[in-house]
Chain A
Amino acid sequence: MDPHVELENVSKFYEARDKTHALHEVSFAIDVGEFVSIVGPSGCGKSTLLKIMAGLDDPTSGEVRFQGSPVRGPHDKISMVFQSFGLFPWRTVLENVEYGLEMHKTPKSERRALSREYLDMVGLAGYEHMYPKQLSGGMKQRVGIARALAVEPEVVLMDEAFSAIDEVTADVLREEVADLHKQTGKTFVLVTHNLSEAIELADKVVVLSSRPAKVKKIFPISLERPRDRTHTLFVHIHRDILHLLKEELENTLTRHKLKGIVPLQKLHDLEASSKESPAKEPEAAAPVSTHISAKAEH
């Protein structure tokens, strides 16, 4: 089966701001109906990557393909859920959900019906005529999710969709998103800095390195759903990814220090210690990764 969304050597430079190199030849593929989480150190460019997949931003080189054809701008079948919800405060809940359909020129009666259906699906029936300011963070994001689904997309992109919500509410909402994924069979891509969240929801977790972001490793997650965060394998995968990210963070810190503040002697010490640690890693990581791939195969 052809991949649903495919990234091939996606790179991004920002010309204006001191020529930042945000993404470096990022490649991976997403299958139809797959749930993919993208994690990486903060500020590594994972949101930029999602925006490129959404067609909101162009890659400097490489391309994103949706169903085989390159994405050159927003696409009817690719929808998005935003970190700060992205609701229009002057529109009611129902009008916010209708917005996407309105832009897609869906006839009025049809868009009303569709919007009500999706509001019902996210558990907001009865809240149609409220304004966003009257809702809690979790409810606002439900509106955001309903709006994204109402245009009947094939791919739903979620940019840190749970990070502006309190933890307990976020937990419930995650379970519901997992259900929505199962029910609708759509392809989901979630960018997050929350590892447990990434593992809980995804069929595979793409780990990016620090700037410029490259694909560090892809972890297939074959744990049964609904997922138990205390499951041994869950804990192992979590530890593995965390380990990778910490290593990335240390690399970044070393790079910053190299830029000048550290006296030469300390620099030598630093280099010596950073040479030691990678030597230890493969041993620690190896048993777990074989464990995962073994699980992934059957």
Chain B
Amino acid sequence: MLTNYLWLIPLATGFAAWEMVTRFRLIPQANLPTFSAVLGAFFISVQDPLFLLRIAHSFLSLICGLLLAFCTALPIAFVAGSKNKFDLTFTPLIMLFGALPDLSFLPLLVLWFGPGSVAAIIMASAAGFFPIYFTVRDGTRNIPRELFEVTSIFKSDRLSTFTKMILPAISPHMFSGLRLAYDFGWEIIIAIEIATRAAGIGSFIEGSVSGGSLDSGFAAILAIAIVAVVVDRVFFGSLESWAKRWA
């Protein structure tokens, strides 16, 4: 059981080393604040409702983006996974778009929707589309033919075939895709908030660093890290292991 917490050792060592190099000014504190200063700023920041609202704002943009990605990718991926002709027609196109660097579209999105959350949400959904699409498509393709015959022989209707056979069969893949999309999503949201100075925690980091208060900037990064990791492990982790309980 204790071995599950071994990762805490290098983490604590890292923080200690950080404290040392900054305290003894091996790195000037104008470039890197001490770890203790960051911790101090963190505990002050988390008591500030505006700071918390900014995090909530970024998190909500991300969730909206994910939902949008999920709702568009799932049906298309499902059809691509089950109909070969559709797959051959559309998947190469989707791969092509996936290969493009998403952020290159940012100026256009800002032009069309303004430098706000709408652009961030659309961007996050575009980034999340691909992992969901490819995991669900592959999951659907890998359902053994025999299982479809089982549903036919017992005269399952289309709806039951989807809800009782296809959906459970692809759910482990679907949740893995969703988790990847969530991880990508954070990067995109923060990048856009920094670039467009839209409301959210990204623009707070940008403001703090350019205003010289590096400790607040680091405090915000720490806060994002905690939210991102906790949601990833606790929510997506348990969702995934629940979906794979039988595998």
Contacts and interface: CB of A to CB of B under 8 A. Distances in A.
A201 interface: no
A140 to B, nearest CB: 12
A74 to B, nearest CB: 5
Interface in B194-247: 245-247
Contacts of B168: 88, 90
B160 A103 contact: yes
A236 B216 CA distance: 90
Interface stretch (B7-15, B20-28, B119-127, B151-159): B151-159
B147 interface: yes
Interface string A79-97: 1101110101111000000
Contact of A100 (B147, B154, B246): B154
Contacts of A88: 147, 150, 165, 168-169
B187 interface: no
B247 A79 contact: no
Contact of A84 (B146, B160, B164, B246): B146
A143 to B, nearest CB: 12
Contact of A86 (B146, B169, B247): B146
A56 B165 contact: no
The contact size tier of chain A is 20 to 34
Interface in A217-262: none
Main secondary structure of the interface of B (DSSP, over half): helix
B101 interface: no
Contacts of A90: 168-169, 245-246
A84 B156 CA distance: 20
A191 to B, nearest CB: 14
Nearest to A76: B155
A56 B154 CA distance: 11
B102 interface: no
Nearest to A99: B154
B146 A89 contact: no
A104 interface: yes
Interface string B112-148: 0000000000000000000000000000000010110
Given A88-B168, A103-B160, A83 B155 contact: no
13 contacts: A51-B149, A74-B152, A74-B154, A79-B153, A80-B149, A90-B169, A90-B245, A90-B246, A100-B153, A102-B164, A104-B154, A104-B155, A133-B247
